[in-house]
Amino acid sequence: METVEYDVVVIGGGPAGENAAQYAVEGTGMTAAIVERELLGGECSYWACMPSKALLRPIAVADTTADLHGVSTAHVAPKALLERRDYWVSDYSDAGQESWAEGAGLAVVRGDGRIAGERTVRVGDTLVQARQAVVIATGSEARVPEMYADALPWDSRDATGVVEVPDRLVVVGGGVVACEAAIWMHALGSAVTLVVRDRRLLGRTEPFAGEAVLAGLRDRGIDVRLGVDVTHVRRESPEATGIGKVHGGAVTLTTSTGEIEADEILLSIGRVPRLDDIGLDSVGLSPDDVKAGRLPEWLHAVGDASGGPPLTHWGKHQARVVGARIAAAAAGEVAWEPDREAPVPQVVFSDPEVASVGMTEAEARDAGHDVVTTRVPTSSAAGTGLLRDHVVGDAQLVVDRGSRLLLGATFVGPEAGELVHAATVAITGGVPVHVLRHAVASYPTAAELWLRLLEELPREFRVPPPVA
């Protein structure tokens, strides 16, 4: 068995793993290796964020032009849409990522990585030793309960990598993947039925956001059925035809409200960290130890594998923090970190778009805050009103009454994903709302919505709280 040695060894070359490796060694003279068994760049680059957003953007533009007096309506061209997807996933080649790694001085070790003892990762017949640290960045995979497994349902890889468009598609789940994939599959020509166990969509966001997305999906002709349980799944001649191809004959779903027949099912009911087969037992650890952060000082976990919010930007942030900690520890120092925990933002690229950061109103109350909320229609600023003819959705701030600090914010409608970043900055920086009022947005931009929101707060919030 050959042994090679680096300062840092990262298992998994997705966005989180790449950032951890880069930040751990950049400017230090240390060396790092990334162990990757599929494509460097991970799920995000080839089967998740990039292809899904490449597919959704032209659809969003076509929708906007259909609602914008003064411009002829753009049409989605399915073949060209899939070509755009292929461009953004570099035709499923990671040559560009490999060049990036080379340029950043990171070694790429191809193969399946398994922890094989303290500071040791086994890749085939090679032992890769870490002088300083090992980072687990193995990502996550779609959850497939046993009831569905024999029917070989599509998961998000098939939906983003779609090659054959099923005539009738049933999407199971009411979360982010379901709400986004339903839109592009419908635009590509599938008749889409969304089967949602809960009585609402996007369960982790404010209820008004889920309601706006529900109305948007139904308006475009997607059949959304809420409060429906799937109890049995049957498929004629299931066949593993490959990613994005129809996996066999017709599928029948028995549900709490009757049977649904379709040509394919897309199962989008959440993801699980990929921790089961990475050799944790060789160092006396379990997947639960990783998710709870009970790790020896030489071992770290970042990204989806850590069990935190499964979002690329969050995994990359964690990775930068962990990378800086490894670099500092190697130099006998402690990395600087802010006292305040960073809030997690998320954008759902549905129609209307939904963007949120920090706590929802209910979460803030549950956490014991005395909460004041302010909500305005997204159309209420001239800058947002100009974006299309019919602007739907609301925007809301959740504020702590005592400290006057922002706890959370939700934007629904055009440019929601851009509007939310100011809230992220305000929460991260601890900017109270009476100071935030003096952050002047240009007229007439969408950001002026912030003025509307802050104006709706109680008048006494325009000055600092009285000193106790």
Ligand X SMILES: NC(=O)c1ccc[n+]([C@@H]2O[C@H](COP(=O)([O-])OP(=O)(O)OC[C@H]3O[C@@H](n4cnc5c(N)ncnc54)[C@H](O)[C@@H]3O)[C@@H](O)[C@H]2O)c1
What are the binding residues for FAD? 53, 113, 138-140, 304
* Strand pairing class (168-172; 264-267): parallel
CB of residue 315 to ligand FAD, shortest distance in Å: 4
Name the residue type at position 291.
K
DSSP for residue 305: G
Cα Rg for the chain, rounded, in angstroms?
A: 24
What, of ligand X, ligand FAD, none, does residue 325 touch, CB below 5 to 8 Å by kind? none
Q: How far apart are CA 20 and CA 324, in angstroms?
A: 8
Q: Is 174 in the site for ligand X (CB under 6 A)?
A: yes
Q: Is 178 in the site for ligand X (CB under 6 A)?
A: yes
Q: Is 203 in the site for ligand X (CB under 6 A)?
A: yes
Q: How far apart are CA 434 and CA 445, in angstroms?
A: 21
CB of residue 415 to ligand FAD, shortest distance in Å: 16
- Residues annotated within the binding site are 53, 113, 138-140, 173-180, 270, 304
**Rounded to whole angstroms, what are the CA distances from 134 to 138, 308, 385?**
12, 18, 50
CA end-to-end span of the chain? 68
- φ/ψ (deg, to 5) at 141: -135, 160
Q: How far apart are CA 309 and CA 312, in angstroms?
A: 9
User: Residues 26-65 vs ligand FAD: string with x where CB under 6 A?
Assistant: ---------xxxx---xxx---xx--xx------------
> Which residues partner with 171 through β-bridges?
194, 266
Q: Is 280 in the site for ligand FAD (CB under 6 A)?
A: no
Among the listed ranges 138-146, 166-174, 189-197, 450-458, the one in contact with ligand FAD (CB under 6 A) is 138-146
Q: Is 352 in the site for ligand FAD (CB under 6 A)?
A: no
CB of residue 300 to ligand X, shortest distance in Å: 21
Q: Is 211 in the site for ligand X (CB under 6 A)?
A: no
What, of ligand FAD, ligand X, none, does residue 175 touch, CB below 5 to 8 Å by kind? ligand X
Of 58, 166, 216, 310, the one binding ligand FAD (CB under 6 A) is: 310
In the chain, count H helices and then E strands.
16, 21
Number of alpha carbons in the 13 Å side-chain half-sphere of residue 350: 33
What, of ligand FAD, ligand X, none, does residue 313 touch, CB below 5 to 8 Å by kind? ligand FAD
- Spatial contact of 275 and 178, defined as CB atoms under 8 Å apart: no
Nearer to ligand X, 171 or 327 (CB): 171
Q: Which residues bind ligand X (CB under 6 A)?
A: 145, 172-178, 180, 197-198, 203, 268-271, 310-311, 346-349
